Amino acid sequence: MESTARDDAYMREALRLAAKGRGRTSPNPMVGAVIVDGRGAVVGSGYHERAGGDHAEVRALAEAGAAARGATLYCTLEPCCHHGRTGPCVDRIVEAALARVVVAMPDPNPVVNGRGIESLRRRGIRVDAGVRECEATRLNEAFVTWVSRRRPFVTMKVAASLDGCIAARPGARTTLTSPAAGRAVHAQRAEVDAIGVGSTTVLVDDPLLTARGARRALPLTRAVFDRRLRTPPTARLFGTLESGPVVVVTVESASARHRERLARLTDAGAEVECVDAGGFLRNAFEQLARRRVTSLVLEGGRLVHEAAWEAGLVDRVQVFVAPVEVGPSGVAWMDRDAVFRAVDALAVRALGPDVLMEADVHGTR
């Protein structure tokens, strides 16, 4: 539909409210709602605060009370029509006698997927859809990917030098970027469902993979992709289980061959998942999705990045470039030029002395 300036303005407010749930609603989407009466006054508003809590429409209706009768509801996502942990929002909307509902985007969840809009129209409520749809879709890109592709939305993140290196030499733990870039990384960790690394990263860097200096509302899953079960049970990761689970994803042959390693990892607190070796990363991502992981930052190393890239499993690329050169002894990352030829909407911003280049990947949205 062609939206009016008034519809645009109220939907912008609903989107602003929806974003307040960032990092809190997974695996549910972020949703905002605004109710406007015939005089153009906002009589109710709300957003989805956490999975299992009231939906945005319910909060807005509760605030509006009797003023909802004959009013217009602006909602960033199609109202639900099924019984989940909460009742169908379409029933509440009908009971409140709203005259019109304006929706930004349809709900891609197969149990809804247009049925909410159809139900409202069938019961005499005017529904207009598509107002600021692109913004609403981007806001919930992780949820959309999770329900439509049955895997998390994957951001491939790397820190590299000017000459394209990620380490000073093989096996060397190397810090390239500044504290400003580090703060951006930890702010992102506070919002996503999971961080993923290969076993080599654990062996070389022994990272904590926690969100530090940023408040996090939900447990953070740390996934280690480890086909050979090389992850040491002494890794620092296992001292951070209060932050969330550590999931070691391996293959059946490794778990059968290395039963002692498997037992030691389990004793250390690892949750070990076995997947088929063919299409290992795709299978691993799908297994994480079954664990309700909707978003994953793939932090390294190079072999994991290459495997995810070649399998078409990367949705966004983030390259932090530090103003240093490592030299010929350095460990090179992937071909940056080739990567950025395959992306859309490149954005560049400074983070202290570093530069962050971020873009979406063709064909995965």
Alpha-carbon distance values, 73 to 10, 46, 95, 183 (Å):
9, 11, 13, 38
One-letter amino acid at 76 equals T
Is 325 annotated in the active site? no
Among candidate residues 137, 114, 120, 121, the one with its CA nearest the CA of residue 15: 137
Among candidate residues 39, 257, 3, 275, the one with its CA nearest the CA of residue 134: 3
In this structure, the strands spanning 271-275 and 246-251 are: parallel
H helices present in 163-242, as ranges: 179-189, 199-205
In this structure, the strands spanning 354-361 and 343-351 are: antiparallel
Q: Which of the following is catalytic: 2, 13, 57, 141?
A: 57
SS3 of 237, please? Answer: helix
Q: Is the peptide bond before 301 cis (omega within 30 degrees of 0)?
A: yes
Q: How far apart are CA 147 and CA 35, in angstroms?
A: 28
Q: How far apart are CA 353 and CA 358, in angstroms?
A: 16
**What residues form DSSP beta bridges with 65?**
none
Q: How far apart are CA 205 and CA 172, in angstroms?
A: 8
Active centre residues (catalytic): 57
